[in-house]
Structure 1
Amino acid sequence: MANSFSFELVSPERLLLSEQVTEVVIPATEGEMTVMANHAPTMTTVKPGVVTVKTADGKTERFAVFGGFADILPTGCTLLAESAVHVDELDRTALDKRIEAVRAELDGAGDEKKTRAEQFIAELTKLGEVVIPA
């Protein structure tokens, strides 16, 4: 049996999960990363995507996150999300509202901000394709 470690997923709205887990897959900005017990200390930014959590009792939970950062230690991991919901709570309407809000920021934006916003829209669109059935 794999070693377990503590994991917390926190958003400004609420604590979504606080459990002993065996594995967490995080959509880090530089690529997906898997966190397991005794992981080297790391801090990373998180892009919009799906966090997959395997709990110590064998269940798998999935959460949609919309950015943030993760603090990883050998004994645990805390993911502070800008916003997050269980994938079962995410629907097309809510995701489309987020995309439209970002698109509204594009008008009159400078090149750097425009590039970041376009990348964020692409990440949100991909998240919708992965999580929400067609």
Structure 2
Amino acid sequence: MSLQISILTPEKPFWNGQAEEIILPTETGEMGVLKNHAPIITGLDVGAMLVRTKEEWNSYALMGGFAVVKKNKVTILANEAESAETIDAEEAKNAFEIAKGNLEKAEGVKQKVEANFAYKRAKARFQVVKVVNKYS
């Protein structure tokens, strides 16, 4: 038996399926989950989530949320989620470069916080596209 994965966003159920392994972007770093993982609830950071099915690796950009792991079921409650297939690679690269530049130029607390979030979001989307290209 493999893991049963459910990704839910406020708008709709985003993805449901079976996986052999997932790697989550938690607030304390990346966390891998395999079959028979100990039960856990963890906060998710903005970042790339990798899912290994029997056939391939898939990647998704998550914009924060929570994950619950229990009895080979992983439920992910994400603020937003995007599949690599829906992200334009060139646009993601350009957005990442712009966000990186804006973060370096940010002044003041509010501007730095906003620039940091935009950077993390753009980085997650760019990473997701790079992973797909790497494993394709």
TM-score (norm 1): 0.72
1:6 shift after superposition: 0.9
Query: How has the CA–CA distance of structure 1 residues 44 and 20 changed in structure 2, closer, same or farther, with 3 Å as cutoff?
Result: same
Q: CA RMSD in A?
A: 2.7
Q: Which residue of 2 aligns with 1:106?
A: none
Q: Does 1:6 align with 2:4?
A: yes
Aligned equivalents of 1:44, 1:76: Cα separation in 2: 14
- Deviations along 1:69-89, one digit per CA (max 9) or x if unpaired, are 111113211111100111121
Aligned-partner residue type, residue 29 of structure 1: E
Aligned-pair identity in percent equals 28
1:122 shift after superposition: 2.9
Q: Secondary structure at the match of 2:35?
A: coil
Mapped contact 2:36–2:71 kept (Cα < 8 A): yes
- Deviations along 1:38-92, one digit per CA (max 9) or x if unpaired, are 111111111121111112x323221111111111113211111100111121232
Q: How many residues align?
A: 118
Aligned-partner residue type, residue 83 of structure 2: H
Aligned-partner residue type, residue 27 of structure 1: P
Tell me, which stretches of 5 or more residues in structure 2 are unaligned? Answer: 103-107, 131-136
Q: Which residue of 2 aligns with 1:71?
A: 68
Q: Which residue of 2 aligns with 1:123?
A: 120
Q: Which residue of 2 aligns with 1:44?
A: 42
Tell me, which stretches of 5 or more residues in structure 1 are unaligned? Answer: 104-108
Q: Which residue of 1 aligns with 2:79?
A: 82
Mapped contact 2:62–2:124 kept (Cα < 8 A): no
Match of 1:60 among 50, 57, 60: 57
Q: Which residue of 1 aligns with 2:26?
A: 28
More helix by share: 2
Mapped contact 1:64–1:90 kept (Cα < 8 A): no
Query: How has the CA–CA distance of structure 1 residues 132 and 76 changed in structure 2, closer, same or farther, with 3 Å as cutoff?
Result: closer
Aligned-partner residue type, residue 37 of structure 1: K
1:28 shift after superposition: 0.7
TM-score (norm 2): 0.71
